[in-house]
Structures are given as structure tokens and as C-alpha cells.
């Protein structure tokens, strides 16, 4: 058994058994184990590492650019619509649609207030989901 595997095994065992009393050493042990695992995944020649590397190196084709005028001249949705999926999923609906910033803002607002604004966040998601999605699609295809 190589020395780094033995060292990692000792650190993991010490953390699990609670023998490391000082928080600094626990954090150091966890960081070393995480570093070791990331190096194993990155440089190992076993099947999961190859699959992970191939998934991360895969080129994603960009969608074909359509005419932005097709989006601009559509009738815009009502200012306050109702989206049942967004009402049920809340900020997670935004994540599923690719609106990462909107979802992160709404979710952080719910967490920062300790759940006080949770009903308002879900209500906002239900009322503004369609409009936010259309604005996102227009901004993605606009040519500035």
C-alpha cells in the first residue's frame, strides 16, 4: 500500500473515531482527503475517472441563431400571468429553465430571511415566471 493511501486511511479513521480533538486538524484532514480524492478522479485510469473526464471535455454545440425579430414581434405575455409549475417548484423552476440568476436570487432571499419571505418568493415565481422566461430568451438571442 503506498504511503499516501496509508496516510489518508489513518486521517479518515482518526476523523471517524473522533480522535482529532482540534478543529484545525479535522478541517485539515477533510481537505487532504478531498484533495486526494480529486487527484484520484482526475488522474486515475479506472473507468469512472475516464467517464468523468470525457463528460467534462465534451464539446457542446451552440444552438443555431434565429432571427431576433421573430421574438420581438410576438405579442408579449401579460404582465402577471400564472404558471402552475412555477408555483409548485418555486425558485427551482427557474433553475430547470436555465434562469440561474433569478433562481439564485429568489432562493437566497428565502434563506436569508429565514423562511419569512418563502410564500412571497413562491408567489412571485408563479406570477412572473412566463415574463422572466420570455425576457431571458429575448436577451439570449438579441444582437447588441
Tell me what the mean pLDDT of segment 58-73 comes to: 66
Percent pLDDT > 90 in the chain is: 31
Model pLDDT, residue 29: 75
Tell me what the mean pLDDT of segment 49-53 comes to: 70
Q: Are 127 and 81 in contact (CB under 8 A)?
A: yes
What digits encode the pLDDT tens for the residues 16-30?
666 656 677 777 777
- pTM greater than 0.75: no
In our burial notation (b when 16+ CB lie closer than 10 A, e otherwise), range 77-89 reads eeeeeebeebeeb
Tell me what the mean pLDDT of segment 111-116 comes to: 90
Q: Are 12 and 29 in contact (CB under 8 A)?
A: yes
Tell me what the mean pLDDT of segment 35-64 comes to: 71
Q: How many CA atoms lie within 13 A of 126 on its CB side?
A: 12
Q: Which grid cell is 60?
A: 457542446
The dihedral sign for the CA sequence 55, 56, 61, 63: positive
Model pLDDT, residue 44: 65
Q: Which of 61-65, 67-71, 102-106 has the largest mean confidence?
A: 102-106
Q: Are 138 and 72 in contact (CB under 8 A)?
A: yes
Segments making up each domain of the chain, as ranges: 3-57, 68-141
Assign 11 a pLDDT band (cuts: 50, 70, 90). low
Tell me what the mean pLDDT of segment 36-43 comes to: 72
Amino acid at each position: 500500500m503506498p504511503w499516501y493511501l496509508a496516510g489518508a486511511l489513518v486521517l479518515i479513521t482518526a476523523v471517524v473515531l473522533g480522535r482529532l480533538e482540534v478543529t484545525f486538524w479535522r478541517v485539515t484532514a477533510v481537505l487532504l482527503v478531498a484533495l486526494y480524492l480529486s487527484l484520484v478522479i482526475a488522474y486515475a485510469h479506472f473507468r469512472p475517472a475516464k467517464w468523468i473526464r470525457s463528460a467534462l471535455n465534451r464539446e457542446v454545440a451552440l444552438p443555431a441563431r434565429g432571427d431576433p425579430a421573430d421574438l420581438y414581434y410576438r405579442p408579449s405575455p401579460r404582465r402577471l400571468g400564472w404558471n402552475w409549475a412555477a408555483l409548485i417548484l418555486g425558485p427551482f423552476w427557474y433553475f430547470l429553465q436555465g434562469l440561474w440568476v433569478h433562481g439564485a436570487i429568489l432562493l437566497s432571499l428565502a434563506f436569508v430571511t429565514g423562511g419569512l419571505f418563502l410564500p412571497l418568493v413562491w408567489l412571485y415565481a408563479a406570477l412572473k415566471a412566463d415574463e422572466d422566461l420570455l425576457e431571458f430568451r429575448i436577451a439570449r438571442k438579441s444582437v447588441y
